[in-house]
Structure 1
Amino acid sequence: MHPRLIECLAAAELHFRSDPRCAGMFLHGSIGRGETDAYSDIDVCAVIEDEHYEDVKAEMRAVCERLFGPTVIWLPEGEQPRYCNFAFLFEHGDELLLTDFDIVARSLFVAWNRPPDRVLWDRDGLLSQAPRAHGPQAGLSGERLLRLIDTYWVYAYLDGKYMRRGDVFKMLYVQQTLFQVHVRMLCGHQTGDEGVWWAGDMARLSEHDRHRLLGYFSAADTDRVAEALSRCLDRFSEDAQRVCADLAAPYPIDRELAVRKHLATMGLRSGLRRRLQEPGRPVGSASGESHCDREELT
Structure 2
Amino acid sequence: MYFGNVAHGRRLAGFLSQSLDQSGKILLIVFFKSDIPSRIERQSGFRRIQGANATADSPWLFAAVPKPVNLSIMKTPTTPADLEKARDDLLATAVGRFKTDPDVLCIFLGGSIAAGSADAYSDVDLRVVVKSERHSHFVAQRREIPKQWPGFLFNEWLPNTQHCVSHFLPFGKIDIFYYDAAALIPSPWYRLPIKILHDPKGIVTDLVKRSEELSFTVGEEDVSISISKGLAAAHETYRRAMRGELFYAQTLLDELRHHMMRADDWLHDRTPETAVMAKYNKRASGDVMTALSTSYCPCESDAILATLRSLVRIYRNQVAALHEKFKLSRPLKNDIAALDIVA
| TM-score, structure 2 normalization | 0.59
Q: 2:315 aligned with 1:236, yes or no?
A: yes
Q: 2:95 aligned with 1:13, yes or no?
A: yes
Change (3 A) 1:41 1:126: same
Residue of 24, 31, 38 corresponding to 2:113: 31
Q: 2:150 aligned with 1:75, yes or no?
A: no
Change (3 A) 1:40 1:113: closer
Q: CA deviation at 1:108?
A: 6.4
SS of equivalent residue, structure 1 residue 80: coil
> Letter of the aligned partner of 2:229 in structure 1?
T
Q: CA deviation at 1:84?
A: 1.9
Structure 1 residues without counterparts, runs of 5 or longer = 91-95, 264-271, 273-298
Residue of 83, 91, 114 corresponding to 2:189: 114
Q: CA deviation at 1:168?
A: 1.4
Q: CA deviation at 1:222?
A: 1.4
> Letter of the aligned partner of 2:334 in structure 1?
R
RMSD: 3.9
CA distance in 2, matches of 1:194, 1:178: 23
Larger radius of gyration: 2
Q: CA deviation at 1:100?
A: 1.0
- Structure 2 partner of 1:165: 243
| TM-score, structure 1 normalization | 0.66
Residue of 130, 154, 164 corresponding to 1:48: 130
Q: 2:184 aligned with 1:103, yes or no?
A: no
Residue of 202, 226, 243 corresponding to 1:148: 226
Change (3 A) 1:79 1:252: same
Change (3 A) 1:180 1:138: same
Q: Is the 8 A contact 2:155 2:166 kept in 1?
A: yes
Q: Identity over the aligned pairs, expressed in percent? A: 15
SS of equivalent residue, structure 1 residue 220: coil
Q: 2:298 aligned with 1:223, yes or no?
A: no
> Letter of the aligned partner of 1:45 in structure 2?
R
Change (3 A) 1:108 1:213: farther
Q: Larger relative CO (CA 8 A, sep 6+): 1 or 2? A: 1
Q: Is the 8 A contact 1:79 1:85 kept in 2?
A: no
> Letter of the aligned partner of 2:158 in structure 1?
G
CA distance in 2, matches of 1:195, 1:54: 33
SS of equivalent residue, structure 2 residue 258: helix
Q: Is the 8 A contact 2:155 2:165 kept in 1?
A: yes
Q: CA deviation at 1:21?
A: 1.7
SS of equivalent residue, structure 1 residue 78: coil
Q: CA deviation at 1:102?
A: 0.5
Q: CA deviation at 1:201?
A: 6.8
Q: Is the 8 A contact 2:237 2:250 kept in 1?
A: no
Q: CA deviation at 1:39?
A: 4.1
SS of equivalent residue, structure 2 residue 126: strand
1:72-122 superposed Cα distances (whole Å, 9 cap, x missing partner): x231423534x12241324xxxxx352314132226664976125322233
